[in-house]
Amino acid sequence: MFKKNKKVLDIAGYGAAVLTQIAEPIKEINEEIITLSGKMIETMFAFDGIGLAAPQVSKSLQMFVLGIMVDDDKFYDNLKPDEVSLLKQMPVTFINPSIISSSEECKTKEEGCLSIYEVYGNVTRPEKIVFTAQLLSGENITLEATGLLSRALQHECDHLNGILYVDKMNEEDAAQIAKKLKKLKRNNKKSKFLRFFK
Ligand SMILES: [Zn+2]
């Protein structure tokens, strides 16, 4: 039987209304936000995720955490100093984030989501974005992100606008996972703790 760590939050599964809502801006980075950030990081790592947005733990707030941890130094080749510095600080919490601009050049890659249990699909997204957010320290950052960082930031920003990666898939790919999604929705209605029975 899975024993639940107290710091690990329940994840809102596909079909939950909170995942389709536009999240509220955060007015002040107070104790509550700092505590939530810590719990979200614990939860993200407990489920081997690289990102988790507040709506996924049923908090409709403009905030997400990223934990892209890469040991391989080659990963950082060709990245700009700003990007490397942010990646090396991970896990990082982003408050009131937004995407200022996106490149015309797009790339298609497979994505998954902790709220969409064991379903994966191809999503086409802009390769580069200019992104801005506040960090938990209150510091404002603006940087150009590429590759995995760009994709992860876009996936998480979408969550704050009530959009899931499956909403962005092309019709053909979406049709292939439609049955799985239907089943997930049905199961998530029955038990919000489904995720713990892995
Ligand atoms: Zn997600």
Residue 3 has a pLDDT of: 55
pLDDT of residue 189: 79
156 is catalytic: yes
Q: Which of 42, 83, 111, 156 is an active site residue?
A: 156
Residue owning tokens 């997930």: 184
Residue 191: the pLDDT is 60
Beta carbons within 8 Å of 105's beta carbon, 6+ residues apart: 126, 127, 128
Give residue 50 CA to ligand 1 midpoint distance, Å: 9
CA 114 – ligand 1 centroid, Å: 6
Which strand (E) or helix (H) includes residue 116? strand 116-126
Domain 17-190, CATH number (from 3.40.50.300, 3.90.45.10, 1.20.1300.10, 3.40.1360.10): 3.90.45.10
Q: Please check whether residue 133 is in contact with residue 141, taking contact to mean a CB–CB distance below 8 angstroms.
A: yes
pLDDT of res. 2: 54
Q: Where are the domains of the chain?
A: 17-190
Q: Which residue has the tokens 């536009």?
A: 22
How far, in Å, is the centroid of ligand 1 from the Cα of 85?
Answer: 24
Q: What pLDDT is stored for residue 192 in this prediction? A: 52
Strand partners, 63: 95
Pairing of strands 51-53, 63-66: antiparallel
Count the neighbouring beta carbons within 10 Å of the beta carbon of residue 192.
15
DSSP H helices, the chain, are 31-46, 81-88, 147-160, 171-190
Stretches where the chain sits below pLDDT 70 are 1-6, 191-198
Q: Quote the ligand 1 centre to 128 CA distance (angstroms).
A: 19
Q: Are 126 and 95 in contact (CB under 8 A)?
A: no
Its pTM surpasses 0.95: no
